[in-house]
Amino acid sequence: MTQLLGSSYTTEYVISHCFPEVYDVAGCVEAEVRQLANAKSFWSVIARIDLKWLRKEDKKRYPSSIFIKIPTITANVVVVDGDRDDDGLHQTLVDITANEEGFYRMMDNDDIPGFPYPRYYHGEEVDEVPGREGCLVLEDFSEKSQRERVSTARSISSKTTANHGQEESSKQRAGACCLPSCLSLRRELLPIRSRLLSFDVQRHGK
Most confident of the following: 64-73, 162-171, 193-202:
64-73
Domains of the chain are: 11-146 (3.30.200.20)
Average pLDDT rounded to a whole number, residues 76-97: 82
b/e sequence 58-87, b meaning 16+ C-beta within 10 Å: eeeebbebbbbbbbbbeeebeeeeeeeeee
- Alpha carbons 79 and 30: distance in angstroms, whole number: 38
Which alpha helices (DSSP H) does 131-177 contain, by range? 141-159, 164-176
Percentage of residues in the chain with pLDDT exceeding 90?
49
Q: Is it the case that residue 54 has pLDDT exceeding 90?
A: yes
- Alpha carbons 196 and 110: distance in angstroms, whole number: 13
Q: Which of 106, 109, 102, 107 is nearest to 136 (CA)?
A: 102
Give the pLDDT confidence score for residue 9 in this predicted structure: 96
Average pLDDT rounded to a whole number, residues 12-19: 97
Average pLDDT rounded to a whole number, residues 75-98: 82
Q: Is it the case that residue 105 has pLDDT exceeding 60?
A: yes
Residues 6+ apart with CB under 8 A from 33: 2, 4, 5, 11, 47, 48, 49, 50
Give the pLDDT confidence score for residue 98 in this predicted structure: 95
Give the pLDDT confidence score for residue 75 in this predicted structure: 82
The residue type of 3 is Q
- Alpha carbons 86 and 175: distance in angstroms, whole number: 57
b/e sequence 153-192, b meaning 16+ C-beta within 10 Å: eeeeeeeeeeeeeeeeeeeeeeeeeeeeeeeeeeeeeeeb
Give the pLDDT confidence score for residue 146 in this predicted structure: 57
140-160: pLDDT as tens digits: 987 665 555 444 445 545 554
Give the pLDDT confidence score for residue 187 in this predicted structure: 57
Q: Are 107 and 136 in contact (CB under 8 A)?
A: no
23-34: pLDDT as tens digits: 899 999 999 999
Mean pLDDT of the chain: 79
108-148: pLDDT as tens digits: 999 988 888 999 999 999 989 999 999 999 999 876 655 55
Give the pLDDT confidence score for residue 198 in this predicted structure: 62
Measure CA of the first residue to CA of the last residue in the chain; give whole Å.
Answer: 38
The residue type of 27 is G
Between these two residues, 134 and 75, which has the higher pLDDT value? 134
Half-sphere exposure of 160 (CA within 13 A, CB side): 6
Give the pLDDT confidence score for residue 149 in this predicted structure: 47
pTM over 0.75: no
